[in-house]
Chains A and B, each alone.
Chain A
Amino acid sequence: MHGSETFAARGARAAEAEDRAAAAALGAGRRPETESEPWPNVHAPDAARAATSEVQKLAPAGRRRALGVFLSNPTAVAGLLILAVVAGAALAAPILFPDDPLEMAGRPLQWPGQDPRFPLGTDALGRNVLAGLAHGARISLLVGAFATLAGLVAGILIGATAGYFGGLVDDALSKLVEIFQTVPGFILLIVLVAIAQPSVPAITLAIGAVSWPQVARLVRAQFRALKEKEFVAAARALGYGHRRIIFREILPNALPPVIVLASVTVATAILMESALSFMGLGDPNVVSWGSMIGTGRDLLRTAWYLSAAPGVAIVLTVLSLNLIGDGLNEALNPRLSGEP
């Protein structure tokens, strides 16, 4: 206890300290910012200020742990490998099959193995099925990735705004999300593509337009929960503005479930693109897995391999993305990993 110490004495000492601090502040104002003296009015012990030789850099343990959990999950690794093969095929397509996959390459309707030049055979117009698969992977992955990106950007912006601000903003944006959710997604997609020209960018944006509401709902729920956390109050107490709190404080904490959802959304987008192409609503200038199934449909009884080969490609790609999604969920979900 400081019973013996009078308030006056402490006050005088404080005043003296204030003068010191004021002088230091003045000094800091004149002096350019230097690395050696960034904190002139504070005197830490010299030993600690001197550079220690062992600068042990610790990697972000949480992220490293999540990566470890993910990579020790055999199904997730299997998904990753399948996706790597598909992505490799997509990247290598122009090198392996430099010719236009829509051009006639050989005699039509050759079965797989009949001609070593066409390991998966040729279709009714003599096009190389394997070349079609490789080039189709490009379209599928491209559309899947960019449609998901578009959906994520829109969904995160709208969901974060609604969840963070609440009130009337939330009401209005939630109603907007509900309107989109009451319309069957695929019907809306067909309408959108029918209005626009069926080109790859238009299809990508249209798929993004039907996949954002799910993202928005998830992000909104995350923000509603997270904005009540004390660290958000602490951030406000530090003078941070809304934008900074949304993007730097809350969003990183809200991301894990969004990342999981994104992997599934990519799969859904690939399926949607395939379905559109199957129905003949895809971009007619590029080969796509869906359109390959669509053209092979007429010959299903005589040349089933024409539909089966792209079908297997779709199944494997979607499966791989779902496996990755499950693995990410296990690695990133705090409730499953038991982190506080």
Chain B
Amino acid sequence: MAALLDVRDLSIAFPRATPVHGLSLTVAAGETVALVGESGSGKSLTALALMRLLPDTARIASGEVLFRGRGGGVSDLARLDDAALRQVRGRDIAMVFQEPMTSLNPVLSVGRQIAEVVRFHEGLSWRAARARAVELLDLVRIPEPRRRVEDYPHELSGGMRQRVMIAIAVACAPRLLIADEPTTALDVTIQAQVLDLLDALRRDFSMGLLLITHDLGVVAEWADRVAVMYAGRKVEEAPFETLFGTPLHPYTRGLLAASPRLDAGQHYSVGALAEIRGSIASAAGERGCAFAPRCAVARTLCRDALPELDAVAPGHLVACPVTTAAIPQEEAHHATPVG
């Protein structure tokens, strides 16, 4: 399957810092790719860069964002002119933001906000756009859509608002949906509903879904493929079974080990929760591997040279010379899930 989105060697630069280095990523139609990393790893910035919505001070320093449009033609979003880009935004690529409380315009009714996108991109009449808005509210499982279409954002709960955001995002049946921590601001009980909804829409529209998250539970449940970012670089990429089964990068291993488990007898009063020592700030000024200061298996070579991403198996890329070198011996050991 040809990739819908093919990001090649993307670097994002601020005047004094380069928070994302040489990131490559692909998303195929109908595929859910999770971009995982802690705060400050550059994952949200990457999402914004894909649609060229970076803050004024930031810019795409290098790289290509190849996107296969509706007609099958491939365009580089990093170099597209503004008018053409506006055609892509909201129509071919849509985005769901983290904070549903503030992502809706407070002075327009939700029906109007949905209808305006449809009108803007498809030129429907007001009546047709309004009918579409009701259908979309129904599609995202908002009860009584005919009544809710008149509501203003402050009359809806957080989960409902996020559903409205999703309705706006899928209003023009986009090819790719970027969801930037779509459930972080929601109750845990609502999170699963919203992600199930996104998953169902991905299937119905055969959209590519780029899910940006720091929640490994979300990744395990909904992602097909996972890319792990650390300090602006991709350190590991694998299908989700491989990543959870045989994680190779020490950071991925640390993340998985740090996830609390619901095994019997596991409770923070029994044993301390696992953690990765140090913080992402220690990556600053590091010449070699950014994770080296926090890494248990780091060697001298890690601190001197930047580790390359190596394919250890088809679709499994790892940027760690230490653990990949030890694969033949350790394969059996890591085949059993950690923990």
Task: List residues of A whose CB falls within 8 A of some B CB.
Answer: 1-3, 7, 10-11, 13-15, 17-18, 20-21, 25, 33, 35, 38-39, 41-42, 44-45, 48-49, 52, 55-58, 60-62, 166-167, 229-231, 233-241, 244, 248-249, 252-253, 339-340
Contacts and interface: CB of A to CB of B under 8 A. Distances in A.
A33 B132 CA distance: 11
A125 B200 CA distance: 85
B206 A10 contact: no
Q: List the 10 closest A-B pairs by CB distance, nearest first.
A: A14-B30, A238-B90, A18-B206, A239-B89, A239-B90, A239-B86, A17-B206, A237-B95, A230-B102, A252-B107
A240 B88 CA distance: 11
Given A14-B31, A49-B138, A237-B53, A21 B173 contact: yes
A39 B135 contact: yes
Given A55-B146, A231-B106, A237-B94, A35 B128 contact: yes
A21 B124 contact: no
B30 A17 contact: yes
B86 to A, nearest CB: 4
Nearest to B93: A237
A253 B107 contact: yes
A271 B331 CA distance: 87
Contacts, number: 149
A231 B206 contact: no
B108 interface: yes
A17 B138 contact: no
Contact of A253 (B51, B106, B205): B106
B246 to A, nearest CB: 15
A42 B91 contact: no
29 contacts: A11-B1, A11-B31, A13-B203, A14-B29, A14-B30, A14-B31, A14-B203, A17-B206, A18-B206, A35-B131, A38-B124, A38-B135, A39-B136, A52-B144, A56-B147, A58-B150, A58-B151, A60-B152, A230-B97, A230-B103, A231-B104, A231-B105, A233-B53, A234-B95, A238-B90, A239-B85, A239-B88, A239-B121, A253-B106
Contacts of A48: 138, 145
Contacts of B85: 239
A238 B89 contact: yes
A252 B108 contact: yes
B224 to A, nearest CB: 6
Given A231-B104, A234-B104, A236-B53, 17 more contacts: A1-B220, A1-B221, A11-B30, A14-B31, A14-B202, A15-B206, A17-B30, A18-B30, A25-B173, A33-B124, A35-B131, A38-B131, A42-B139, A42-B204, A44-B139, A234-B103, A253-B105
A15 B28 CA distance: 10
Contacts of B220: 1
Contacts of A229: 102
B127 interface: yes
Contact of B205 (A21, A33, A166, A238): A21
A9 to B, nearest CB: 11
